[in-house]
Amino acid sequence: MDVAVIGAGQAGLSAGYFLRRSPLSFAIFDHAPRPGGAWQFRWPTLTLGATHNVHDLPGLPLDDRDPARPASEVVSEYFARYEAAFGLDVRRPVDVTSVTDGPGGLTVATSAGEYGARALINATGTWDRPFWPYYPGRETFAGRHLHTADYRGPDAFAGKRVVVVGGGASAVQALLEIAPVAAATAWVTRRPPVWNEGPFDAERGRASVARVAERVRRGLPPGSVVGATGLTLTADVRAGIAAGVLRRRPMFARIVPSGVVWADGTEFATDVVLWATGFRAALDHLAPLALRGPGGGIAMDGTRVASDPRVHLLGYGPSASTIGAGRAARTAVRDLGRLLVPA
Ligand SMILES: Cc1cc2nc3c(=O)[nH]c(=O)nc-3n(C[C@H](O)[C@H](O)[C@H](O)COP(=O)(O)OP(=O)(O)OC[C@H]3O[C@@H](n4cnc5c(N)ncnc54)[C@H](O)[C@@H]3O)c2cc1C
């Protein structure tokens, strides 16, 4: 095939839409069981109204915008409708284990066999790589460690003493849900949280995208677009601040069997540590292509890997948002058309 697309989330489906309208042959691989990209796995209490905003895919708007429904359901239904509307034949569940380069072009090794491709659009998101920072004593903890990737709502925390780690929207949402049922909660972050008056608007979105774009142009690890937008002061958040639920403490120094301990020796007795510490790009299968540079990231020129014009990364760095993914897909397919189709 001309282009192998890995991942059928917002980014991969957007790429499929533009590839359908191009002369390039392609296939989309996804290891998840159903349509929906990472959204199918998000916790049921993350309603559509609680997301930053789920942007339309190109060519077919998301018409069910009931803010009370779980985003996982709404988006999965939408993506299934989208795949059918544009005849996008997603091969699933197919896990891509590696991509290698050779004289005949790229070889995409999958759980369903090997495929040859002239170029690659990688759109594997971040959900498959939850980030767990290390703190001394982590392995000695007698309670339970959980990541937001495993969070299914507040019920599992009833009567427990819970530490939530992380300064993003997921931490705030979890605290507001858990505090009413937990025995006690503590919120710890590395830096003081940045609260934003007013809604999450285009201006703020653009500023954080620009910041991440500059990082990947320089070959640094991207950081998160959605995480870089700051925290919105909703009515619920204001109430949480007033009630002391969102009183932030600095990071603890270490973990002991019975809880977490700060540098001054203060301990918070803990049953569960919820790590709301984000995700990293799921790119392990691209390791044989040796794309990472000395800065620890992959130097990018738009959506194209600077060192290999056959490889585009969508949903990486500045395009890691539902709006960014669609725009990036158009650019990537146009670039690959120029590279692969003789003028
Ligand atoms: C909790 C949370 C809330 C968010 N809320 C918002 C929001 O409100 N608005 C917004 O714009 N963005 C939000 N984001 C960012 C969001 O992840 C992106 O906007 C968007 O959903 C990512 O789309 P994607 O296509 O890049 O990745 P994904 O939706 O993650 O899709 C990647 C796909 O690749 C597949 N895959 C991965 N590895 C392989 C492999 N090796 N082989 C085969 N298949 C593979 C996965 O199964 C998955 O289906 C949020 C992120 C998180 C974590």
Kindly state whether residues 25 and 94 are assigned to the same domain.
yes
Domain that holds residue 64: 3-128+279-340
Q: Please provide residue 164's backbone torsions phi and psi, each rounded to the nearest 5 degrees.
A: -105, 125
For residue 147, the domain's CATH number is: 3.50.50.60
- The alpha carbon of 271 and the centre of ligand 1 are apart by a number of angstroms equal to 30
Q: Are residues 55 and 19 in the same domain?
A: yes
The atom number, within ligand 1, closest to the CA of 54 reads 9
Residue 51 Cβ contacting ligand 1 at under 6 Å:
yes
* CA distances, 47 to each of 53, 81, 95, 126, 166 (Å): 11, 20, 28, 20, 21
267 forms bridges with which residues in the sheet? 261
> pTM of the entire structure?
0.93
Query: What is the tally of structural domains in the chain?
Result: 2
Do residues 261 and 288 share a domain?
A: no
Do 24 and 109 belong to one domain? yes
Look at residues 241, 258, 275 and tell me which one is the last residue of a structural domain: 275
Q: How far apart are CA 161 and CA 163, in angstroms?
A: 7
**Which of 115, 101, 141 lies closest to 291 in space, CA to CA?**
101
Per-residue model confidence as pLDDT tens for the chain (343 residues)? 999 999 999 999 999 999 999 999 999 999 999 999 999 999 999 999 888 889 999 999 999 899 999 999 999 999 999 999 999 989 999 999 999 999 999 999 999 999 999 999 999 999 999 999 999 999 999 999 999 999 999 999 999 999 999 999 999 999 999 999 999 999 999 999 988 887 667 777 777 788 888 888 888 888 766 566 678 898 999 999 999 999 999 999 999 999 999 999 999 999 999 999 999 999 999 999 999 998 889 999 999 999 999 999 999 988 877 778 888 999 999 999 999 998 7
- Asked whether residue 92 falls in the same domain as residue 180, the answer is no
How much distance in Å is there from the Cα of 256 to the middle of ligand 1?
A: 34
Nearest CA owner, ligand 1 atom 41: 96
